[in-house]
Structure 1
Amino acid sequence: MNKDSKIYIAGHKGMVGSAVWRMLEQNGYKNLIGKSSKELDLRNQQNVQSFYEIEKPDIVIDAAARVGGILANNDYPYQFIMENLQIQNNLIDGALKSGINTFIFLGSSCIYPKLAKQPLKEEYLLTDALEPTNEWYAIAKIAGVKACEAIRKQYNKDYVSLMPTNLYGYFDNFDLKTSHVLPAMIRKFHEAKLNDKPVELWGSGAPMREFLFVDDLAKAVLFVMENKPEEHLYNVGTGKDITIKELALTIQKVVGHAGEIIWDATKPDGTPRKLMDVSKLNKLGWQHQVELEEGIVKTYEWFLQNQDKIKEVKM
């Protein structure tokens, strides 16, 4: 690994991809490649293969995906399974055919069974049923993990998968129809503060979730890229979780909303708990650095400064 290595970051304009780009630049990697979805449709196999043949990257970091929360997964199941399969299959298979030796595949903690023992260990993959509200996305990501594992086993290439817990941070999606819980809450509490109204939230507030600031994931990507760990799958998280109700109260405090919080228990809670066992990556030397309230402050500050740039996500 050297600073002149040609690195392609798929999805470089998204929250994760842009964080990885910034982290690599900050650490002296200047030969970075990024293509917008208009420049390169990752769902098109021939376009991806042609891109690889022309650019010849040394390393591929796959941060490209169709993502969303419970509502989006529930309303658009076909897009969530098929587009994610198309994107990652084209990137992974194209990289193999092009002789690329290093590939980092980014997934999600939703690959683990809904009722798996906590905290979630890497070996729990495929041991029980998935959470129904996001199984379409999860199945696609599981396929990506197994494809990278198969390439590693059969071709002895450095293809590794990182499974982060719930991410948030700069360039997050704040669209109320398609966003995840933390950015959606930031926007809801902010707008309720401006309008002096209560905030209505889905579910009971009882489920427990773990949250990782996106820059910490970017540091994990850099760490894995530079250290080439021996196994194919690593969890990335803080190893700490809180209830959704506690999250709401923390965001309410950061935003400065003083009104009532109304919980709609008729809406689904999703998985009861999702806490990652991050001991494998911790033992190698990576640790998260940004604690939750600090990360929420950073994210809310970014939200306030970039409201004019925040786009509504179309499915």
Structure 2
Amino acid sequence: MANTTSDVALVTGASGLMGRALVQELRDAAGTTTVAVSSQDADLTKFEQTLEMMERHRPTIVYHLAARVTGIMGNMRAQGQAYLDNVRMNTNVIEAARIAGVRKIVAMGSAAVYSDMVRLPMVEEEVWIGPPHGSEAGYAHAKRGMLAQLEAYRDQYGMEFAFCISTNLFGPHDKFDEECGHVLPSLISKFHRAVQEDQPVTIWGTGKPERDFLYVKDAAAAMRLIGRSFSGPINLATGQAISIANVAGLLKEISGLRHELQWDRTKPDGQKMRSYDIGKLQNLGFQPGSSLKQALRETFEWYAAHCDTARR
């Protein structure tokens, strides 16, 4: 779908980590009017509010990022709520977009949709193989349901879509929740606090699981490319996996922590390994613009400057 001067892009979840970065990316690009929508503008779990918002703005393309999302502990503690809230939001946004005549939806999925049963690196064609990992099943099934709805709407109504199977994102404006948040912002908050208090850092699990971490500024650039010229499910990742222990080592260096790291092996690791085939994304011309260490340093420095007001 090529951009035209009349294109209107609507971004849900615009006040969140990915939303802020994507709105900036789209506004920096020529040829698209960008509308930023957050929970202050509409409660997407309520269909009437979602439809009113969609008909008011009449977007050409919708980037649907809004979600109820936490880290592994938060998802484990609220499986039902994660499922229900996300199903409601996704269903309402897609149906309201159809009624409002939206041409394309670019939806934020999650790598949680993949099962431990699939081969590595994970490829988009195997997204339906096996159940998702139990630690995030409620959230993952809601995301799978969104993909099923998008496929059904394409088949019946001709609505074009892309479904971004996103790896772990991080960056400025993240939610730095040490108890229930995602691993990187949680660690950044822990390391910053430990340095301030001159105390060691205790990290959940063994440190052995490997993850693919994508800087949010790079993710935003990738999503703009996807919106312009890709349809279907697509992995949104760097293609490079790194262990939690090695990430912690980088943060120890960046933060200047003097103490040895401590590991709480009573806490869950989650999936042992996640790596992704990013051939489809690379074919669009995408390459990450930042190294992991550089992106971690920028995020840590942003948090250090904004820790009193950062989201938790």
5 Å-filtered alignment, 1:112-123, equals: 112-123=114-125
CA–CA distance in 1 between the matches of 2:288 and 2:237? 7
How big is the shift at 1:28? 2.7
Shift in CA distance, 64/55, structure 1 to aligned 2, threshold 3 Å: same
Structure 1 residue matching 2:297: 3-state secondary structure: helix
Contact 1:40 1:47 in 2 (8 A): yes
CA–CA distance in 2 between the matches of 1:152 and 1:286? 26
Contact 2:174 2:311 in 1 (8 A): no
CA–CA distance in 2 between the matches of 1:233 and 1:135? 19
How big is the shift at 1:115? 3.5
How big is the shift at 1:285? 2.0
CA–CA distance in 1 between the matches of 2:100 and 2:22? 23
Structure 2 residue matching 1:130: 3-state secondary structure: coil
Give 1:214's match in structure 2, choosing from 206, 213, 216.
216
Aligned residues: 310
Contact 1:152 1:232 in 2 (8 A): no
Shift in CA distance, 182/29, structure 1 to aligned 2, threshold 3 Å: farther
Contact 2:225 2:284 in 1 (8 A): no
5 Å-filtered alignment, 1:213-252, equals: 213-227=215-229, 229=230, 231-252=231-252
Q: Give the percent of matched residue pairs that are identical in Structure 1 and Structure 2.
A: 31
What's the TM-score once normalised by structure 2's chain length? 0.96
- In structure 1, stretches of 5+ residues that fail to align are none
CA–CA distance in 2 between the matches of 1:183 and 1:104? 25
Structure 1 residue matching 2:7: 3-state secondary structure: coil
* Matching residue's letter, 2:89: I
What's the TM-score once normalised by structure 1's chain length? 0.95
* Matching residue's letter, 1:222: R
Does residue 173 in structure 1 map to residue 175 in structure 2? yes
How big is the shift at 1:152? 1.9
CA–CA distance in 2 between the matches of 1:150 and 1:160? 13
* Matching residue's letter, 1:43: T
Aligned to 1:306: 306
Give 1:197's match in structure 2, choosing from 196, 199, 205.
199
Aligned to 1:256: 256
* Matching residue's letter, 1:132: G
How big is the shift at 1:171? 0.8
Shift in CA distance, 43/268, structure 1 to aligned 2, threshold 3 Å: same
How big is the shift at 1:30? 5.8
Aligned to 2:127: 125
Aligned to 1:109: 111
Superposed structure 1 runs of 4+ greater than 3 Å apart: none
Does residue 12 in structure 1 map to residue 14 in structure 2? yes
Structure 1 residue matching 2:66: 3-state secondary structure: coil
Does residue 44 in structure 1 map to residue 19 in structure 2? no
Aligned to 1:32: 34
Structure 1 residue matching 2:174: 3-state secondary structure: coil
Does residue 100 in structure 1 map to residue 102 in structure 2? yes
How big is the shift at 1:3? 4.2
How big is the shift at 1:241? 0.6
Does residue 291 in structure 1 map to residue 294 in structure 2? no
How big is the shift at 1:34? 2.0
How big is the shift at 1:183? 0.8
Contact 1:192 1:198 in 2 (8 A): yes
CA–CA distance in 1 between the matches of 2:156 and 2:38? 32
* Matching residue's letter, 1:248: A
CA–CA distance in 1 between the matches of 2:168 and 2:117? 17
Contact 1:189 1:257 in 2 (8 A): yes
